[in-house]
Amino acid sequence: MRTSRKLTHALLAIIAIVLLAAAALAADPGLQYPETAEVSDQKAGSVLFYNLYTSGPTNGNQQNTRINITNTSATTDADVHLFFVADNCQVADSYICLTPNQTSSFLTSDIDPGVTGYIVAVAVNRLGCPVSHNFLIGDAYVKISTGHAANLGAEAFAAIFNENLPGCNDNSTTAELKFNGDKNGYNAAPRVLAASNIPSRTGGNDTMLILNRVGGNLATGAFTIGSLFGLLYDDIETPYSFQISGGCQFRSSLTNNTPRTTPRFETVIPAGRSGWLKVWSLADNAILGAMINFNPGTNAQANAFTGGHNLHKLTLSTTATYTIPIFPPSC
């Protein structure tokens, strides 16, 4: 009888330990996002992509960005390698280290003033090798001197591999991050993006389109966007093709000059009407992007709005890769 009671107590203790461990790994109710859920600004991941950051060259009062990053894990630290990719493809980097459940914010005017581009944040271990830590979330509050302003969620790529990135060790000087949807990489990246609603410029709207190439060597320079093909639709389903090109980031207001369509943009989307567009690379390059609309009549007109969001993802590419330098975190 005593032996049976001892076994029962031991079994209950093991069950309690298992339950506590499970609670530590998944403390929140509901089903967890699967690792294979594709890139989104509404989930956590091991790589975060901030579509836009900027700050003024002398002060950040009118043009600045507040970057926010949060480690949602209740048990594990997060060492994050940040790469600041300028629109001319030059790269600067730094580290930020987060304890469990910690959030952190900083102004880009304090660390990279006078630069506009995008940010890639990669979860790494103490060697600097990428790790599976699908607990990072973030966003960027952006304001531009033109009046454009928005809160853009960080696009999250989950690691599909377990623990450390395969092939990265204490002898590595670089590591390749593959956005291929495979077990040795991360979620696939978008190929075709869409802006769901573009208002007429005649109503005072100024819609800024931001596109970023996903890929490159973050030790020497990111890849450029190159040439993109797109279709602009009016609100009666008529398509008008266009072509645009850019460096590591394309950033422009939508006008009669950009994109160049026949007839021109303001004829395709006249007063009181709206349209939409989709854009992609003919070379199967991955892209991410956002749109921000500014209307000076926001506070005076019922149908005038200012704000923005990330672009919708229609199809995926499995060819995108980032090469990052490997060295230990400085924090």
Once rounded to an integer, what is the mean pLDDT over residues 53-74?
A: 94
Question: How far, in Å, CA of 219 to CA of 210, rounded?
Answer: 24
Question: How far, in Å, CA of 59 to CA of 198, rounded?
Answer: 31
Binning the chain into helix, strand and coil, the percentages to the nearest 5 are: 10, 45, 45
pLDDT digit string, tens, across residues 32-55:
888 888 999 999 999 999 999 999
pLDDT digit string, tens, across residues 87-138:
999 999 999 999 999 999 999 999 999 999 999 999 999 999 999 999 999 9
Q: In Å, what is the CA distance from 61 to each residue of 110, 148, 223, 251, 307? A: 12, 14, 31, 21, 18
Q: Which of 76, 70, 97, 77 is nearest to 25 (CA)?
A: 76
**Does residue 67 carry a pLDDT above 90?**
yes
Q: State the DSSP string of 79-92.
A: EEEEEEEETTS-EE
Q: Residues with Cβ < 8 Å from 8, sequence gap 6 or more?
A: none
- Element of type H or E holding 97: strand 91-98
Helix (H, G, I), strand (E, B) or coil at 52: strand
Q: Quick check: 292 and 142 in contact, CB under 8 A? A: yes
Confidence band, pLDDT 50/70/90 cuts, at residue 268: very high
> What local confidence, expressed as pLDDT, does residue 19 receive?
44
Once rounded to an integer, what is the mean pLDDT over residues 3-7?
A: 51
pLDDT digit string, tens, across residues 150-182:
999 999 999 999 999 999 999 999 999 999 999
Confidence band, pLDDT 50/70/90 cuts, at residue 209: very high
Domains of the chain: 47-179 (2.60.290.11), 189-321 (2.60.290.11)
